[in-house]
Amino acid sequence: MAEQPLDGAVALVTGASSGIGAATARRLAREGAAVALVARRGDRLDRVARDITGSGGHSITVAADITEPERAEHAVQQTLDRLGRLDVLVNNAGIRLLGSALHTTVAEWDRMVSLNVAALLHVTHAAVPHLIYAASTSPREVADLVNVGSAAGPAAWPGSSVYSLTKSGLNAFAESIRRELAADGVRVSVVEPGAVDTELMDHLNEITQDAARRQVAGIEPLRPDDVADAIGYIVTRERRIAVNQMTVRPGDQSW
């Protein structure tokens, strides 16, 4: 078999049980990486792992609620213990709950902040020393931290206030640590998808779902594989190339 760009590398993907996370895990495995699949739903992770194995790849599963700091640290440590290193971290886990400030509950806001922000911070904090080490020991001389943001970050809309808050804040966080880690050979990127056909829509209540579906009516949404392709492109560039931010929208999405 011909050498693949990520041969010998290890990737950890959060939210890997479905959607963009599952597609990204499969894509990185095809590029030669061993992949740690992290999410709460162990049965769904097992299905993704079987897909990867069936295609000749290698993966492990770690069922964990990474909103808990110790569980996030455990997920990173399990990756190191079982796969030996960590070259690529994809912070994909997230949730999108829409609704106006008048009608949304504080619990829904807290849920988004917990998963979209706190969980990402927990995993990133645990992973950074190992990414730095990987960059210094890898033949590629580089490691990658990729964060899945949203086109709704820089372009907030009514009903998406806290979701957009979590995603716009991600951009500032990523830019800051990009500057911190650049000299250590760790590239930091944000991928901002537009409308994607994933199960995130299923988390909305019926009224909000209807409004969201009307917003994307007439648009052929991205598929999870489209976003995974963007992530795969970023992490397979040679060391001299850093793609720090990429927005990927459906071709007919104007907003």
> How far apart, in whole angstroms, are the C-alpha atoms of residue 205 and residue 150?
21
pLDDT value of position 158: 86
Answer for the pair 16, 25: CB distance below 8 angstroms, yes or no. Answer: yes
Q: Is 186 helix (H, G, I), strand (E, B) or coil?
A: strand
Residue the block writes with tokens 């911190």: 180
Tokens encoding 28: 């990185």
Q: Which of 25, 27, 128, 163 is catalytic?
A: 163
**Beta strands 88-91 and 186-193: pairing type?**
unpaired
> Exposed, middle or buried by CB within 10 Å (0-12, 13-18, 19+), for 176?
exposed
Q: Is 91 helix (H, G, I), strand (E, B) or coil?
A: strand
> How far apart, in whole angstroms, are the C-alpha atoms of residue 254 and residue 243?
23
Domains of the chain and CATH, by start: 10-248 (3.40.50.720)
pLDDT value of position 203: 47
Q: Is 133 a catalytic residue?
A: no
pLDDT value of position 21: 98
| 23-51 core/surface letters (b: 16 or more CB in 10 A; e: else) | bbbbbbbbbbbbbbbbbbeeebbeebbee
Answer for the pair 38, 16: CB distance below 8 angstroms, yes or no. Answer: yes
> How far apart, in whole angstroms, are the C-alpha atoms of residue 228 and residue 19?
10
For the stretch 192-233, pLDDT in tens is: 999 998 655 554 555 455 555 555 667 899 999 999 999 999
What DSSP assignment string belongs to 114-169?
IIIIIHHHHHHHHHHHHHHHHHHHSTT--EEEEEE--TTTTS--TT-HHHHHHHHH
Give the predicted TM-score (pTM) of the model: 0.93
Q: Which long-range contacts (CB under 8 A, 24 or more apart) does 208-212 make?
A: 208/98, 208/99, 208/159, 211/98, 211/159, 212/98
Answer for the pair 72, 123: CB distance below 8 angstroms, yes or no. Answer: yes
Instruction: Look at residues 244, 250, 253 and name the one whose alpha carbon lies nearest to residue 144.
Output: 244
> Exposed, middle or buried by CB within 10 Å (0-12, 13-18, 19+), for 101?
exposed
pLDDT value of position 241: 98
CB atoms within 10 A of CB 152: 21
Residue the block writes with tokens 């909000």: 208
Ranges of the chain whose pLDDT falls below 50:
1, 203, 207
